[in-house]
Amino acid sequence: MKAIVLAAGQGARLRPLTDDRPKCMVAYKGVPLIDRILASLRASGIEDIVVVKGYMADSLNPAGARTFTNERYATGNMVATLFSVEDEIVGDVLISYSDIAYGPGIVQKLEASDADISIVVDLAWRELWQKRMSDPLADAETLKLGDGGRVREVGKKPWSYADIEGQYIGLIKLSAKGAAKLRALYARLDRKATYDGQPFEKMYMTSLLQRAIDEGIEVRAVPIRGGWIEIDAPSDLEIDVAV
């Protein structure tokens, strides 16, 4: 299996910590996020790792990983960064955001999924969100599940906690068939349309996943209960999570 780590972002909400480094190089409990991610991937048996850089690309040189630079990082989003290395989206592929920390156990659960497209979903998300912010509902996104763990909805604005059965954490697995389906879906999207209010270039990953769901492509949840953290603001660095 190959892993693609999306590490092009600046992380404006982490300033001043990201004034002189990419977001993924900010340290959580003394260890840069990118180092934690690579260690968890390798501990799970994944050695072929692609890191897609962007902001301050010259300062990000992770040992043992292949690197590419998304030169258009400033005008795009996660999906654009992923598809800047479209030729790498073949075979079994694990896709990871780079502003999260997680242990190898979560990677191994994701690897074990036999679905064409799988995403990690934290069912105990509210416990973490309550540590991160005073109003968890303000920052959370919808996630609704159907039979067999099939995801019915992801990434919308929730009206109540009833709209949130878990939170997508930023980890995806594609089988070879799933990778082909996602590439084909991306190829036929209207470049002039908007997606959840965003132009094509700035499309959210959840918008792409929802489009797949809407077209009848199965996206299956891999459930966890904690054991990870998102680092989006300096205050997140003060939360102690075992990862």
Residue-wise pLDDT tens digits, 73-82: 988 899 999 9
Predicted TM-score of the model (pTM): 0.95
**Residue 45: HSE in the Cβ half-sphere, 13 Å Cα cutoff:** 9
Q: What are phi and psi of 100, to 5 degrees?
A: -130, 155
Q: How far apart are CA 101 and CA 150, in angstroms?
A: 25
Query: Which alpha helices (DSSP H) does the chain contain, by range?
Result: 33-43, 78-83, 104-111, 125-132, 136-139, 176-188, 205-214
Which CATH number fits the domain that encloses residue 123? 3.90.550.10
Cβ-in-10-Å burial (0-12, 13-18, 19+) of 184 comes to: exposed
Longest alpha-carbon distance in the chain = 46
**Closest of 8, 194, 224 to residue 107, by C-alpha:** 224
pLDDT digits (tens, 9 = 90+) for 99-157: 999 999 999 999 999 999 999 999 999 999 999 988 888 889 999 999 999 999 999 99
Q: How far apart are CA 135 and CA 47, in angstroms?
A: 39
13: pLDDT confidence band, cut at 50, 70 and 90? confident
Number of structural domains (the chain) is 1
**131: which 2 tokens?**
């540590």
Q: What is residue 100's three-state secondary structure?
A: strand
Beta bridge pairs of residue 101: 229
Give the domain extent around 130. 2-238
**Residue 229: HSE in the Cβ half-sphere, 13 Å Cα cutoff:** 22
Specify the residue for token string 């709209």. Answer: 163
Specify the residue for token string 């979903």. Answer: 121
Give the pLDDT confidence score for residue 133 in this predicted structure.
87
Q: What is the DSSP letter of 41?
A: H
Q: Judge contact between 46 and 107, C-beta under 8 A.
A: yes
What size, in residues, is the chain? 243
202: pLDDT confidence band, cut at 50, 70 and 90? very high
Determine, yes or no, domain membership for 243: no
Is the pLDDT confidence value at 55 over 90? yes
Q: How far apart are CA 169 and CA 227, in angstroms?
A: 11
Determine, yes or no, domain membership for 202: yes
